[in-house]
Structure 1
Amino acid sequence: MPVTFFEEAAALIRAGRLVAFPTETVYGLGANALDPAAVRRIFEAKGRPATSPLIVHVSSTEMARRYVTAWPETAERLAARHWPGPLTLVLPKTREIPDEVTAGLPTVGIRAPAHPIALELIERAGVPIAAPSANRFTELSPTCAEHVRRSLGDRVDLILDGGSTPVGIESTVLSLAGERPVLLRPGMVSRGEIEEITGVVEVLVTGGPGAHAAPGMHQRHYSPRTPLLLVRGRPDRPGRGVYLKHGETMPANPRDYAAALYATLHRLDAEQLDWIAVEIPPDGEAWMGIRDRLRRAATL
């Protein structure tokens, strides 16, 4: 990508505007995380409630430490293994992070994305970037620039096109703000991988206390416009629909499945179907993030 694109994007971020950019998970809708007015523009563009906190993206652990009041040894070890990468750590925030970012909470979710365009943008902007997924609230997350264009249109000032995102679903979110680590949102960094470093991790009960502490935790989220149902076999339903079967029309292993999931649902959503049926994926830690996204996307 030409240097001039990065310079333009970084200037927009510093000016309080919105830039969509690729990460390894999904495309983010980015604004200067230190500018309350810019952060409010994210919520306006997405139609997202201000009670849903945003993730702050940084380029390094050194940058992350500037915006948290505590950086425990556990955070250091997790970042050393999984950053840059799809793991968000929730820690007590400094006053520099405005309440608009955290929905008034005293903690902030922070991560270093594993994508060269995202890292270059953060470095050139010189500020941390708050960025949820670059789509209208509750809709499917975008895994390519065209998905962003279709969802947000002129609500975003610039889109950096980095092709398809390789991970395909949003980051794992882990809180280190309490006495014990708590898994707030599953993703492709599994509970087992985290527990190799932290020991036992509690898992947030959906809809329970603390559900508002992480992004993407609304009961209905990540949804196509077409009604989606989770099934254990081919459904007998009227109308025109598509059945996505594990290991046949969808990949058999979790990493390939996650990378294909949103792109497949975006494609089917454009076909004006009456329904999309998805076979429930296997149990197991490696599938937790995928099962979570499908459960939230299901409307039937």
Structure 2
Amino acid sequence: MNAPSLVTTDVDVAIGKLRAGGVVAVPTETVYGLAADASNPAAVARIFAVKGRPIGHPLIVHIADADQLDVWSSDPSSVARQLAANGWPGPLTLIVPRSEQVHDAITGGRTTVGLRVPAHPMTLDLLRSSGLAVAAPSANRFGAVSPTTAQHVLDDLGGVLDPATDAILDGGPCEVGIESTIIDTTVDPCQLLRAGAITADDVVALISDLAPASGPSRSSGMLESHYAPQCAVRLVDTADDAWALRAGTPGAEILEFKDDLAEAARSLYSELRAADTRGAKMLIVVLPSAKGLGHALRDRLTKAAAPRPR
């Protein structure tokens, strides 16, 4: 492992780096996030520089508990409170009206902000012990495959993070493995902006009505191309289709998921990264069924296979 001084399992070390204005890759149950003190615009700006993320793309703020909803939102709706009470800590991000506490650097000037309480014990300890809230998109280069281990972060960002100011907090492999569900609670009915481990059916069971995303991009994960490995990704419906395509495609590999969609989600990004490590020219993926967690997997794979911006 290169640059071992970046990696730590000491939450207090990570807190010290954040308080001093550094960035710290933190484990969550979804993916590793690249965190900065959300009250420090200069620290938040470093997130964009380290990731190569275009300015103006909104970030999610990670908070310690649902009580902080009123600190970071000016007017959370009753629906937002219901979802927070039932979905936090957990892989659920709520789009709410921003409060004066939220800097433009986090929202790209938008009037809303995404908030969530992560379920990983180390990052919850960090947030609760420090009193900080952190802005934290995925800890990888913009548009690339999200990291689900500390080694993934080191592979992606080890060359641009500074051990004197920054750190990678190693909390082991991420349990969920794909990014949080995002619900816009500022519109009626609420809209599902990004599918995740908390499914649309789970949300509807709590709030009765949920619409698909419409309107402009206003949260992470709404771009057409995202989560992409270096190799090309082609999507097919059946294993027979995959083998037929592979027969005529030199350097192609096949990825097919079993019935355990939770395991498929945990392993998805590692599988995409491994294809690049092996030098695959194309990864042919058999799409999982469009039910439950399969919707989130299909979303990530569709974006990974989309034409990539130059």
**1:253 alignment partner, one of 260, 264, 268:** 260
Q: In structure 2, what residue type is equivalent to 1:12? A: K
Query: How much has 1:38 moved relative to structure 2?
Result: 0.8
Does residue 44 of the first structure (1) align with residue 53 of the second (2)? no
Counterpart of 1:22?
27
Matched, 1:87 2:92: yes
Q: Secondary structure at the match of 1:242?
A: strand
- How far apart, in 1, do the equivalents of 2:30 and 2:172 lie? 12
Matched, 1:243 2:254: yes
Distance in 1 between residues matched to 2:183 and 2:46, nearest whole Å: 26
Cα drift, residue 237 of structure 1: 2.8
Give the corresponding residue for 1:193. Answer: 202
Q: Write out per-residue CA displacement over residues 72-107 of structure 1, whole angstroms, 9 at most, x where no aligned residue.
A: 222222122211000000100111110110111011
The 3-state SS of whatever aligns with 1:170 is coil
Give the C-alpha shift of residue 253 in structure 1. Answer: 2.4
Q: 1:150 aligns to what SS in structure 2?
A: helix
CA distance in 1, matches of 2:70, 2:21: 23
Alignment partner, residue 182 of structure 1: 191
Shift of 1:125: 2.7
Please tell me whether the aligned partners of residues 10 and 121 of structure 1 are also in contact (alpha carbons under 8 angstroms).
Answer: yes
Match of 1:274 in 2: 281
1:225 matched residue in structure 2: 230
**Contact residue 26 and residue 169 of structure 1 kept, 8 A:** yes
Change over 3 Å in CA distance of 1:273–1:61 after alignment to 2: same
**In 1: Cα distance, 2:257 partner to 2:156 partner:** 28
Does the 8 A contact of 1:244 with 1:278 survive in 2? yes
CA distance in 2, matches of 1:241, 1:153: 29
Equivalents in 2 of 1:115, 1:64: separation in Å?
19
Shift of 1:264: 1.2
Q: 1:72 & 1:53 partners in 2: Cα distance?
A: 21
From 73, 95, 101, the counterpart of 1:96: 101
C-alpha distance in 2, partners of 1:222/1:229?
14
**Contact (CA 8 Å) 2:74, 2:100: kept in 1 or not?**
no
Provide structure 2 residue ranges, at least 5 long, that are not aligned to the other structure: 1-7
13-22 or 149-158, which moves further after superposition? 149-158
Contact 2:224–2:306 (Cα < 8 Å) also in 1: no
Task: Please give the alpha-carbon distance, in whole angstroms, between the structure 1 residues aligned to 2:224 and 2:74.
Answer: 31
Aligned residue type for 2:55:
A
Tell me which of 192, 200, 213 is aligned to 1:204: 213
CA RMSD of aligned residues (A): 1.5
Name 1:167's counterpart in structure 2: 176
Distance 1:78 1:196 in 2: 10
For 1:75 and 1:270, locate their aligned partners in 2 and report how far apart those are by CA, in whole Å. Answer: 42
Q: In structure 1, how many angstroms separate the alpha carbons of the residues matched to 2:14 and 2:69? A: 21
* CA apart distance, 1:286: 2.9
Identity %: 39
Which residue type is aligned with residue 189 of structure 1?
Answer: I
Give the residue type in structure 2 aligned to 1:178: V
Task: Kindly provide the CA deviation profile for residues 240-265 of structure 1, in whole angstroms up to 9, marking residues without a partner as x.
Answer: 22111232xxxx12211111111111
Following the alignment from structure 1 to structure 2, what is the Cα–Cα distance between the partners of residues 270 and 284?
Answer: 31
Residues in 2 aligned to 1:163 and 1:21: alpha-carbon distance in whole angstroms: 10
Indicate if the aligned counterparts of 2:9 and 2:170 stay in contact, CA closer than 8 A: no
| Ranges in structure 1 where 5+ consecutive residues have no aligned partner | none
Provide Cα deviations, 1:126-156, integer angstroms capped at 9, x if missing partner: 2110000000001000000010011111433
Three-state SS of the structure 2 residue aligned to 1:109 is strand
Deviating beyond 6 angstroms after TM superposition, the runs of 4 or more aligned structure 1 residues are none
Q: Could you say which residue in structure 2 is the equivalent of 1:288? A: 295
1:74 is aligned to 79
Tell me how far apart the structure 2 counterparts of residues 215 and 299 of structure 1 sit (CA, whole Å): 16
Over residues 106-139 of structure 1, what are the superposed CA-to-partner deviations in whole Å (9 max), with x where a residue is unaligned? 1100000010011111123321100000000010
**2:252 partner amino acid:** G
Using the alignment, how far apart are the partners of 1:216 and 1:265 within structure 2? 17
Secondary structure at the aligned position of 1:169 is classed as: coil
Distance 1:131 1:182, change over 3 A: same
Looking at structure 1, the residues matched to 74 and 117 of structure 2 have their Cα atoms a distance apart, in angstroms, of 18
Q: Is the 1:6–1:124 Cα contact (8 Å) retained in structure 2?
A: no
